[in-house]
Amino acid sequence: MINAVGAPQSLLLLGGTSDIGLAIARKYSRSGLRVVLAARPSDRRTAAAAEFTGLGCEVTEVDLDARDHESHAATIEQAFSGGDIDIAVIAFGLLGDPEQAWHDPGLALELAEVNYTAPVHFGVLLGQRMQAQAHGWIVALSSVAGERVRRSNFVYGSTKAGFDGFFLGLGEALRDYGVHVLVVRPGFVKSKMTSGLGEAPLAVTPDQVAEVVVDAIKSKRELVWVPGPLRAVMSGLRHVPRPLFRKLPL
């Protein structure tokens, strides 16, 4: 249960090695917090588990393979085997090389599966659990890339557009059951996902995203941008006519 001062008792990271996911977990970590790290087995996952154990958390590692749909139900089953989950973060995702992504059918399919199909599947599985427990938060890490899909990374952007729409809708569906969905739209986040890319304006760190997420949950928000001013920027960009939009250096 999230207590009266906003501290959760359990946290599930789907994408248990994601920089943003781990940053969120660090914000909440305290003695006795149950942390479930769902990710592919890796040194990164082991290291993350060690870090949170060191902080006094009770850590469970669970295997997650976004492309193996058959395995998703078992992942959720294991994640909830220790009791209710107060906050579940959907943090896994794949950026891919944007030009390769629309030339290579395999990569396009992978992006669609990892960034859209799997989150929808997990969203439904999580929704069932959360509906039954009648409390809790699903934090869906979306992206401004999905708010108006642009030529420069449209395969990724389109998956996030679908992702974003699904979780906004899931939030509406779960409202009456006391379950909250928070959709987070970060801009450029300096993380392992974007390492090697040139930094965009208004870039943020995973820690800054985590801070916004914690505040948003405390004040029961459903949709946030990181950083905040991106909301106004995107609001403008959404309405730029196509002939002009394609000329913008985005």
Per CB under 8 A, the list member of 78, 117, 133, 194 interacting with other proteins is: 133
The verdict on 26 binding other proteins (CB under 8 A) reads no
The verdict on 82 binding other proteins (CB under 8 A) reads yes
The verdict on 134 binding other proteins (CB under 8 A) reads yes
Q: How many CB atoms lie within 10 A of CB 146?
A: 21
**String of contacts with other proteins for each residue 177-216, x by CB under 8 A:** xx--------------------------------------
Cβ–Cβ < 8 Å for 126, 170:
no
Q: How many CB atoms lie within 10 A of CB 141?
A: 28
> What is the size of the binding site for other proteins (CB under 8 A)?
24
Rounded Cα distance between 246 and 156, Å, is 17
Let me know if 156 is a catalytic residue. yes
Rounded Cα distance between 115 and 119, Å, is 6
- The vertex-191 CA angle with 226 and 30, nearest 5°, equals 75
The verdict on 84 binding other proteins (CB under 8 A) reads yes
Per CB under 8 A, the list member of 3, 70, 195, 198 interacting with other proteins is: 3
| Of 194, 108, 102, 103, nearest in space to 143 by CA | 194
The verdict on 221 binding other proteins (CB under 8 A) reads no
Amino acid present at 78:
Q
Angle between helices 72-79 and 118-133 (to 10 degrees): 40
Per CB under 8 A, the list member of 27, 121, 135, 148 interacting with other proteins is: 135
Q: Which is nearer to other proteins, 6 or 228 (CB)?
A: 6
What's the closest the beta carbon of residue 58 comes to other proteins, in angstroms? 8
Rounded Cα distance between 119 and 112, Å, is 10
The verdict on 83 binding other proteins (CB under 8 A) reads yes
Per CB under 8 A, the list member of 47, 73, 124, 132 interacting with other proteins is: 132
**String of contacts with other proteins for each residue 140-179, x by CB under 8 A:** ------------------------------------xxx-
The verdict on 58 binding other proteins (CB under 8 A) reads yes
* Cα separation of the two ends of the chain: 42
User: Which residues does the annotation mark as catalytic?
Assistant: 156
